[in-house]
Amino acid sequence: MRIRHALLGLLVATPAFAGKHHTPGVQEDELKRSSEIQSSVAAGDLLPFTIGARHHRQGLLFNTYGGFDDAKRAPVMQGTLDATLVDRVTFRVTSTNAGMSDQLKFGFGALIDVTRAEDYGVDLAIGGDYDLLGWNRMPAAVARAALGANVGQLRLQGNAGFGLDLEGSDQYGDVRLSGLHPINDRWYAGVDSRARIDLAGNAMVDEDVPTGKLDYDVQAGPVATYTYGRIAVSATGGVSAWKLKSSDTAKVGAIGAVGVGAAF
């Protein structure tokens, strides 16, 4: 009988003792912890057009988009690998199909984060690329500046670029604007845009204009991104417009693409 009472007392005491000294399990705030790639998405580093002005996460960031541009009757193919191995310095490898081509061409470049918003109110990055086949369908060197700031949770960014043909006197300008806002813990939504224009003016006569050389092109539309762990999935759609240098007629149509990003 004494043994039975001892066992009953042990059974009653054990839960009470465990309740005072138990090790806590997974907490609610841990379940809502930010994904590995979320800070890069929030900083605007994974948009289809605009280049991010802030690269605070050291590591590799991969971003690719694929779709179709109905105005150009050409595929949308682009990819970027950003390697931030040293604080404020990001090396970039890009691939894209220039103009109405269906072939990928590579580019190489770097960005330096000059200012950070916590110190100066804005993020500013400057740098440049070397494109094996630039927007003007020639090998090109491109100087870039990216500016970004937060208004509350809204991320605003702008890019300015200047491209120079390395085999002639061609030049072009590149301007990009975007806005991105979080919807909840994993979803982001906003708008992104890009405009590029030939700056050669009337330096070339019509018979000297290469076939397929653009006078300008513009793309703009909404973008939505979902983050999970190290992965981000995006979708964008909108309008595309362009005009050949040798033509007076502009083409306008729809554009759409799906993107996948990964952080390592």
Q: What is the CATH number of the domain that holds 220?
A: 2.40.160.40
Question: Is 174 inside any structural domain?
Answer: yes
**Residue 134: its pLDDT value, please?**
84
Question: Is 12 inside any structural domain?
Answer: no
Question: Is 74 inside any structural domain?
Answer: yes
Q: 187-205: per-residue pLDDT in tens?
A: 999 999 999 999 986 555 5
Question: Is 251 inside any structural domain?
Answer: yes
- With pLDDT > 70 as the criterion, what percentage of the chain qualifies? 82
Q: Which domain holds residue 77?
A: 36-263
Integer Cα distance of 45 and 223 in angstroms: 13
Longest Cα separation, the chain:
111
Question: Is 28 inside any structural domain?
Answer: no
Integer Cα distance of 182 and 225 in angstroms: 9
Q: 107-158: per-residue pLDDT in tens?
A: 999 999 999 999 999 999 999 999 998 887 889 999 999 999 999 999 999 9
Question: Is 4 inside any structural domain?
Answer: no
Integer Cα distance of 227 and 214 in angstroms: 36
Greater model confidence, 105 or 211: 105
**Residue 165: its pLDDT value, please?**
87
**Residue 103: its pLDDT value, please?**
82
Question: Is 256 inside any structural domain?
Answer: yes
Domain count, the chain: 1
Q: 63-115: per-residue pLDDT in tens?
A: 999 999 999 899 999 999 999 999 999 999 999 987 777 788 999 999 999 99
Residue 227 has pLDDT above 90, yes or no: yes
Question: Is 15 inside any structural domain?
Answer: no
**Residue 210: its pLDDT value, please?**
54
Residue 229 has pLDDT above 50, yes or no: yes
Q: 166-195: per-residue pLDDT in tens?
A: 877 789 999 999 999 999 999 999 999 999
For residues 190 and 197, the answer to whether their CB atoms sit within 8 Å is: no
In this prediction the pTM is 0.82
